[in-house]
Structure 1
Amino acid sequence: MPSRTVPVEVRPYLTELVRRTRAVYGDRLLSVFAVGSLALGDYRPGRSDIDITVVVAPGGPERLVHDLAEVLAHPAFDCPAAGLELVVYDADFAASGSPESGYLLNLNTGPLLPAVANFDSAGAPAFWYVIDRAVAHQSGLPLCGRPVREVLAGPRRFDLLAAVAASVDEHASGAGHLADNRVLNGCRAVYFCRTGRWVAKREAGRAMVAAGDRFGALVGEALRSFDRPRARAAELPAAQVGEFSAWVGRTVAATVRCAAAARSVEH
């Protein structure tokens, strides 16, 4: 278990998660790596999820993903974070760079997450998975097995920008999202459009404040709220959050249009 950027309080959990995953898949297990806040160096107790990607050899008994979902389910396997979000891909899909969701298992479990265990990716919104794979390709933190880039292809830029746009649209609805997370997810989207790199939400928010963008005061409020546990998140001004979300949407849409124009010239 690498100690780099892995907080002490989650190391035993990750070690046991890898052990249980290996016990289910045996030699078919190719790689396990952390994405999300763990990979980007901004994991915080009481707020962050543990985001994990597993890559396995193609084929094999269908029951294996069901077995894995069972042995990793909270509270029988107690998650020390807000939740565990774990996705399993077969190696062929992981290496394809596909813009689809494409998972064998999408597992959400933990004290603050609704329990989800999906085994069929057909019809699942793809943007979350595309973004997670992009973060993994850039910064994934290996926990066991092969290096990330040996098993996972990064999404193509145009596909990734489309996923970012879909993420922004989904957050703009506000459904199921804390206001501070909506704002900082928007900051991260704009940061990616401007730089082509993924950073943690707080780093993206701080960059927006430092740049003197007109929403700096709102982003500052979101940053202060984001430092609290989820249960103590602040109520941000709804009108300002809506205005900010609309601005983020326009910024991302403009980047998508530029990418589409460049793509048409190339072809």
Structure 2
Amino acid sequence: MTVHPLVHEIADAYLALVDAAAPGLVEGLYVVGSMALGDFHPERSDLDFVAVTADPVTAGQLGALERAHARLALRHPRPVFDGPYLTWHELAGPPAQAAPGPHVRGGTVRHRVGSGRTPVLWHTLARHGVTLCGPRAQELMIHTDPEELAVWSLGRLEEHWRPWWRSSSRLASRPGLACLNERAPVRAVLGVSRLHYTLATGRIASKRGAGEYARAVFDERWHRILDECLRIREGRRRRSFYPNPFVRRADALAFTDMAIESARLLGAGRLPLGE
């Protein structure tokens, strides 16, 4: 894979800053997310990383990380450099057993975060991780369990996207109104499509890959909302496929509802596609 020059530039700056602030702390640095999955757009994508240490980050080292990331954000405000700090030992075990720890979000170091330690991250790093420092990602001892990945994907659908669909279906609500803008439909349609893809294949897809997958497996009636979300995702300047945001919102909600139910049935081993 060809790595965008900006990725190397940011990684080199980060490694110099973190080594100066906390010498020897970071033993491995890997890129995951859109860059690793071949869907990186420097002007729109985040740069998702995994930093690996020998031992858990101490309270004293947290201040050093905060200074390093603050300086990095001043030098490179975009793309945002976000990701968790993990140990080699944690990567070798199930994500659920990894203790909450430092996680950079929006360029800010959060001290004790557990939500980002997921089977998707473990699988992405093992199969697609781009090595910037340390042993090659594909040679690491990383715990990858297909059943854990499927269970997590189903849980994400039921615990996050189904409640999102319910609240967004009420137009006279903050989520309902937010669904009139471009971001919310893209996040929902492509996010649910990614989980559907994972349940169908056991693999991880980028947002673009998930949209293309959904376009191939679902009925033609869903092509317009998928094409619209891919258009927005890729920053195409062509006009919207919709006459107004209300019609787009309705299709995004209908697709999300259909795809969640399809994925649920897929998880149970029964999948009627294209309803």
Alpha-carbon displacement from aligned partner over 1:115-149 (angstroms, at most 9, x marks no partner): x432223xx435x6332222111100011001224
Offset at residue 258 of structure 1 (A): 4.2
Within 1, Cα distance between the matches of 2:59 and 2:140?
Answer: 21
Offset at residue 255 of structure 1 (A): 3.6
Within 1, Cα distance between the matches of 2:63 and 2:268?
Answer: 41
My pick for the range that moved more, 90-99 or 139-148, is: 90-99
3-state SS of paired residue (2:23):
helix
My pick for the range that moved more, 101-110 or 26-35, is: 101-110
Q: Does 1:45 align with 2:42?
A: yes
Within 2, Cα distance between the matches of 1:23 and 1:244?
Answer: 49
Offset at residue 155 of structure 1 (A): 3.5
Q: Could you tell me which residue of structure 2 aligns to residue 78 of structure 1? A: 76
Out of 101, 106, 112, the residue aligned to residue 103 of structure 2 is 106
Q: Could you tell me which residue of structure 2 aligns to residue 208 of structure 1? A: 214
Conservation of the 8 A alpha-carbon contact between 1:13 and 1:79 = no
Offset at residue 86 of structure 1 (A): 1.6
Within 1, Cα distance between the matches of 2:256 and 2:196?
Answer: 11
Q: Could you tell me which residue of structure 1 aligns to residue 126 of structure 2? A: 137
Q: Does 1:162 align with 2:160?
A: no
3-state SS of paired residue (2:190):
helix
Q: Could you tell me which residue of structure 1 aligns to residue 184 of structure 2? A: 178
Report how many aligned residue pairs link the two structures.
245
Offset at residue 38 of structure 1 (A): 0.8
Q: Could you tell me which residue of structure 1 aligns to residue 31 of structure 2? A: 34
Conservation of the 8 A alpha-carbon contact between 2:90 and 2:97 = no
Within 2, Cα distance between the matches of 1:101 and 1:79?
Answer: 29
Q: Could you tell me which residue of structure 2 aligns to residue 194 of structure 1? A: 200
TM-score by length of 1: 0.79
Within 1, Cα distance between the matches of 2:102 and 2:92?
Answer: 17
Offset at residue 89 of structure 1 (A): 0.7
Conservation of the 8 A alpha-carbon contact between 1:54 and 1:89 = yes
Offset at residue 15 of structure 1 (A): 1.5
| 1:56-71 → structure 2 map (5 Å cutoff) | 56-59=53-56, 61-71=58-68
Within 2, Cα distance between the matches of 1:249 and 1:101?
Answer: 28
Q: Which amino acid aligns with 1:51?
A: D
3-state SS of paired residue (1:119):
strand
Residue 204 and residue 60 in structure 1: after superposition, are their counterparts in 2 closer, same or farther (change >3 A)?
Answer: closer
Q: Percent identity?
A: 19
TM-score by length of 2: 0.77
Conservation of the 8 A alpha-carbon contact between 1:31 and 1:151 = no
Residue 99 and residue 59 in structure 1: after superposition, are their counterparts in 2 closer, same or farther (change >3 A)?
Answer: closer
Offset at residue 59 of structure 1 (A): 4.8
Q: Extract unaligned runs of 5+ from structure 1.
A: 111-115, 260-267
Residue 129 and residue 152 in structure 1: after superposition, are their counterparts in 2 closer, same or farther (change >3 A)?
Answer: farther
Within 1, Cα distance between the matches of 2:126 and 2:20?
Answer: 26
Conservation of the 8 A alpha-carbon contact between 2:197 and 2:210 = yes
3-state SS of paired residue (2:264):
helix
Offset at residue 199 of structure 1 (A): 2.2
Alpha-carbon displacement from aligned partner over 1:9-31 (angstroms, at most 9, x marks no partner): 33311221122233344334321
Conservation of the 8 A alpha-carbon contact between 2:189 and 2:226 = yes
3-state SS of paired residue (2:229):
helix
Within 1, Cα distance between the matches of 2:42 and 2:54?
Answer: 33
Q: Which amino acid aligns with 1:191?
A: Y
Residue 75 and residue 125 in structure 1: after superposition, are their counterparts in 2 closer, same or farther (change >3 A)?
Answer: closer
Offset at residue 212 of structure 1 (A): 5.0
Q: Could you tell me which residue of structure 2 aligns to residue 117 of structure 1? A: 109
Q: Does 1:15 align with 2:40?
A: no
Q: Could you tell me which residue of structure 1 aligns to residue 172 of structure 2? A: none
Q: Which amino acid aligns with 1:194?
A: A
